Structure 1
Amino acid sequence: MSLPTPPNIDPAKLADFHNVLKQSKRIVAVLGAGISASSGLATFRGTNGLWRGQDVMQVATPAGFRHDPGLVWQFYSYRRREALKAQPNAAHYALAELARRVAPGFVTLTQNVDNLSPRAGHPEAQLKQLHGNLFDLRCVDTVGCGYTERGNYENPLTPALDTIKDETLTLGHIDPDNRPKANPILLAGLARKNAQILGDKYDDKGPSAVDLAPLKAAAAVGGEQELGARPPPMSDIRLSSGLSKDDLPQCPKCQANILRPSVVWFGEALAESTALEADALFAEDTEPIELCLVIGTSSKVWPAAGYAEKARKKGARIATINMDAGDAKGLRPDQDWVFVGDAAAILPELLKPVIGDPGAWKKSTDS
């Protein structure tokens, strides 16, 4: 594990943060893709982000999977391969150490599916993987079969998926007119959710831009600055599967259906147990939350985008760690902090009063 050069942080701001950290008994962290950028993984909305070159409707929705499961599996095979090549960085390890030192008062809510936090040794009981894990699989027939599999690191999962051997490879062409259509029931559900979120600001005169935003390619929704250099990303790869059902991972239980990645796609709800565990952190009858860390996320995807505000209502001060200061939402200048830069460089410095110098906890991570 390499440790990036610590950034220049305002001493007064750092001292104020350290004072709160040392007194905090309950801490919540909300993670986005930016924390894994130093590990070489692309973010979603950056210049070279995953959503810049791929239509989210085709590769990350239930409708897209029904429309062309081979295309979706090509996309996720690429992501699995990249995640397997990546290594946890200092930010992952620092949070894992914080979890051990503050247990059980520290919980991480991660939107990432790259498995880097578990690989860094983050205690499972204090890590909620909101959107699932790339290396967990499940049968598409959830009711009739219900097969699930955790920790499948085989790469590729089938010979037919061993098609992307070079990041600069171009595979076919996506027809922009041949794409799955949004389900009206799904749109109605999104409208209800946005009405709950926006309250009086919500306009219910037909499907609005707000209603449809979760279904658009994220490049059309907004930008998130790229965090760190990496090889040519997925946006340089044009996918066209041409794969049949027999080419894809088969369910070993029912032997009648294919498997899908056990991740949460756009338009899907979080797993019920995960959602309940996350919401329980902010329940009215729980102890106050003193500190909330918002790391590497543009805070555009719900429900994770609302967790910082829930923590704030529980008394928390918010620390945003991101390459883009604009990702700090609802900032209170006299209460909250924004630390701009690479999370892998910033977090070890921020957490040092509790986790100690990196040399003290790096030894266990190198073994």
Structure 2
Amino acid sequence: MAESTSSPTPVPKVNDDIPSFKAHLANSNRIIAIIGAGLSAASGVATFRDKTSPWATYDSFMISSPAGWKRDPGLVWQFYSSRRREALLAKPNAAHYALVDLAKRKEGFTALSQNVDGLLERAGLEIRDHDGKSAGEENNSGQLIRLHGDLFSLVCAGGCGYVEHDNVDDPVYGCRVLAEEAIKERMARVHILGADMDLGKKPPKVSALLFEGIALKNKRILGEEKFREANPTVGDAKSLRDVQDRKGKNEEIGKEVGAKGGGETLALHSGIDKSELPQCPGCKKDLLRPGVVWFGESISEKIILETDEILDKSDGIDLCVVIGTSSQVWPAAGFCERARAKGARVAWVNTRIEDCKSRREDDWVFLGDAGEVVARILEP
């Protein structure tokens, strides 16, 4: 059988020619910036992939999804209270201010941001289509569309329609269980499955949802009278992880459980009662939740229509700058190609070349810290 003589698809070279980029920028009128967490990482705001965060080992669907909220709103509120606090302590970096300056120079500039930390707004970029603090007010002149909401908006989880903007209280509504020290103390005392329990310093491949499913199955097999509910231990989690790793890539587990032993109990829930969490002042029966888009939720129709209007304008797009995003979350992951279809040349800013997946031969690729790179390439 003859071997194939076809050559592999060539990988585009990295084009980091700042002068040619600036020349194109100077002649561009309609500019789209697609912004991800890498922009704010330079300000100290942890990304979901940041392994230094104390929340890095938690399953994202347990702390940032409708299912996670339904099973344990206390754990979700702990996570988002920590994120709010982190964002409040952070300051806009040079890249945030460079984008604001670009917006002043280029009326046709629009930022499509997946970030929820409020740093672009604090740097001075005006929000497009914010519901506003006064009933009925809208602002369609702004150049920032917040695709995933923001940490400092609160909405009724029950859907009564209550919305509150710009709430920077810490803790939220004075809830003591959401204060910084209370969260640290509870995380040290209540080891929820999903936290790193010396299982090799990697996120366990087992979750609270798996153990709950096993318990439910055992309950059905044994019956109500014989079944005795108990939380899993570190040893239980490690055993399951050993099995899963052997079935997978046969990776080294790392350190043994060690001094903690295999019998330490792992909790499945935070143990926080709903009465201890922010209550909706509108309906007075449901909880408030962060005004962000969770995994498994759709971006609001209003935002989708706004974004479509920007991307589908008949006069085309001159330049698309993709900043600090791995382009894995839809619909934002498709914005670059839509801009390209409208005639845009594309520039990528990221720390990893692997995250510039759909780059082409005539794209610019600038590798490095977004806080520094964006400020440098956008400098007039």
Q: TM-score, normalised by structure 1?
A: 0.73
Candidates 16, 19, 23, aligned match of 1:15:
19
Amino acid across the alignment from 1:107? T
Residue 163 (structure 1) shift: 4.8
Q: What is the rounded CA distance, in whole Å, between the counterparts of 1:32 and 1:49 in structure 2?
A: 18
Q: Could you tell me which residue of structure 1 aligns to residue 374 of structure 2?
A: 347
Residue 261 (structure 1) shift: 0.4
Secondary structure (helix, strand or coil) at the match of 1:133 reads: strand
1:170 maps to 2:200: no
Residue 86 (structure 1) shift: 0.5
Contact 1:61–1:265 under 8 Å retained in 2: yes
Q: Could you tell me which residue of structure 1 aligns to residue 161 of structure 2?
A: 146
Amino acid across the alignment from 2:209? R
Q: What is the rounded CA distance, in whole Å, between the counterparts of 2:28 and 2:22 in structure 1?
A: 10
Greater than 4 Å deviation, 4+ residue runs? 163-169
Residue 19 (structure 1) shift: 0.9
Q: What is the rounded CA distance, in whole Å, between the counterparts of 2:286 and 2:297 in structure 1?
A: 20
Amino acid across the alignment from 1:308? C
The answer to which structure has the higher helix fraction is: 1
Q: Deviations over 1:110-144 (max 9, x none)?
A: 000011110110122110110000000000121xx
1:107 maps to 2:110: yes
Q: What is the rounded CA distance, in whole Å, between the counterparts of 1:275 and 1:314 in structure 2?
A: 18
Contact 1:173–1:240 under 8 Å retained in 2: no
Q: What is the rounded CA distance, in whole Å, between the counterparts of 2:357 and 2:30 in structure 1?
A: 21
Aligned length: 284
Q: What is the rounded CA distance, in whole Å, between the counterparts of 1:171 and 1:130 in structure 2?
A: 36
Residue 330 (structure 1) shift: 1.8
1:160/1:52 CA distance change after superposition, 3 Å? closer
In structure 1, stretches of 5+ residues that fail to align are 1-9, 182-219, 221-237, 354-367
The percent identity for this pair of structures is 49
Contact 2:96–2:119 under 8 Å retained in 1: yes
Q: Could you tell me which residue of structure 1 aligns to residue 295 of structure 2?
A: 266
1:178/1:331 CA distance change after superposition, 3 Å? closer
Q: What is the rounded CA distance, in whole Å, between the counterparts of 2:291 and 2:367 in structure 1?
A: 33
Residue 165 (structure 1) shift: 6.1
Q: Could you tell me which residue of structure 2 aligns to residue 188 of structure 1?
A: none
Q: Deviations over 1:229-256 (max 9, x none)?
A: xxxxxxxxx9952111110001111111
1:248 maps to 2:252: no
Residue 343 (structure 1) shift: 1.2
Candidates 297, 320, 327, aligned match of 1:292:
320
Q: TM-score, normalised by structure 2?
A: 0.70
Q: Deviations over 1:61-110 (max 9, x none)?
A: 1011011100100010010111111011011111011112112x000000
Contact 1:172–1:239 under 8 Å retained in 2: no
Q: What is the rounded CA distance, in whole Å, between the counterparts of 1:351 and 1:101 in structure 2?
A: 11
Q: What is the rounded CA distance, in whole Å, between the counterparts of 1:32 and 1:146 in structure 2?
A: 28
Contact 2:78–2:183 under 8 Å retained in 1: no
Residue 159 (structure 1) shift: 1.4
Candidates 177, 187, 206, aligned match of 1:160:
177
